[in-house]
Amino acid sequence: MKKILANDGIDKTGKELLEKAGFEVYTEKIPQEKLIDVINEKEYAVLIVRSATQVRKDLIDACPVLKIIARGGVGMDNIDVEYAKQKGITVINTPAASSHSVAELVFAHLFSLVRFLHSSNREMPINGNTAFNQLKKQYSAGKELKGKTLGIIGFGRIGQEVAKMAIGLQMNVITYDPYVSSAELEIELPPFNKKIAFNIKTDTFEHVLKNSDFITLHVPGGNIISKKEINSMKDGVILINAARGGVINEKDLLEALNSGKIAGAGLDVFENEPNVNPELLKHPKVSLTPHTGASTVEAQERIAIELAEKIIQAFSKLQIHS
């Protein structure tokens, strides 16, 4: 049966591609507790998820009809990937489709923090008419990104996109990745119909921590930044996390924000989503988004197209070998 359940949705472009290939695509959201029964009852061969739906061992064991699990996005921490593969299930994700969108959000947070947009956008609606001059003075000590050093921890696809944008802004870039020694990058210049190619070599973790004005994290998980790492950073550093909740220890982050060691933090992900620490939500030095790094119209379309192409290819291989 060529039936697909896109439990966390799919862009219409990808849905249309799958339907043209002969798949029946259903986008009704099934609650987690009913998912096993519905998959078996409807005989869904493919389950498409994003971050909301959990695909754990119990579901994998209970759903022998399932042939493909597809994750719209990069991280697959909501899927027991290796266990699924052991059970003969093909697991797919879309690592390239959302890189640019996440990288742009990194700079949205950076610009917001260095020019106090996150704070002035809160204050102006309340006090803009009565305290305009005071607010002007309060927010007049902004900084430029040009000439500053951006440290990138994790130099995969997203980290490399961030590096290209930083170089376009005339920033210095230093990077760390235990699995990448160097990367060949290319910046497109559409107005001039040109491309510029260059190589960036990664450095040590310690070097990035000590020498960066701003640090952005692009790693799959783990507790990477806590008190020890924060203490080795420059005073007044700004941190950005659009990777995974828990990569930065939130307790240590709050302590450093309150002491002034960290000047600001841009956070798209959190330790206990969706139950975010209220101290972070209310903190005047934090720029916030609700896990929307890959959530642009363009990225969702690219994700859906990549998913559709990979599902069609994978299903074709399954039929050949069945």
Asked whether the CA dihedral 227, 229, 232, 234 is positive or negative, the reply is negative
3-state secondary structure (DSSP) of residue 140: coil
For residues 69 and 91, is the Cβ–Cβ distance under 8 A?
yes
| More reliable by pLDDT, 317 or 242 | 242
Give the start-to-end residue ranges of the domains of the chain: 3-95+297-321, 99-288
| pLDDT for position 81 | 96
- pLDDT for 57-79, tens place per residue? 999 999 999 999 999 988 888 99
Tokens for 263, please give them. 């000047």
Average pLDDT (195-224) is 96
Q: How far does Cα 25 stand from its chain's mean position?
A: 26
What band does 92 get if pLDDT is binned at 50, 70 and 90? Answer: very high
Average pLDDT (233-253) is 97
For residues 238 and 260, is the Cβ–Cβ distance under 8 A?
no
Q: What is the mean pLDDT of the chain?
A: 95
Whether 3-95+297-321 shares its CATH topology with 99-288 is answered yes
- pLDDT for 247-289, tens place per residue? 999 999 999 999 999 999 999 999 998 899 999 999 999 999 9
Q: Report the share of the chain in percent with pLDDT over 70.
A: 98
Residue 320 pLDDT > 70: no
Q: Looking at the annotation, which residues are catalytic?
A: 244, 273, 291
For residues 65 and 40, is the Cβ–Cβ distance under 8 A?
yes
Average pLDDT (115-135) is 96
- pLDDT for 302-312, tens place per residue? 999 999 999 99
Fold of 3-95+297-321: Rossmann fold (3.40.50)
| pLDDT for position 322 | 47
What band does 1 get if pLDDT is binned at 50, 70 and 90? Answer: low
Region label for 116, one of left (φ > 0), alpha (ψ between -120 and 50) or beta (otherwise): left
Please, what CATH class does the domain formed by 99-288 belong to?
alpha beta
Residue 101 pLDDT > 50: yes
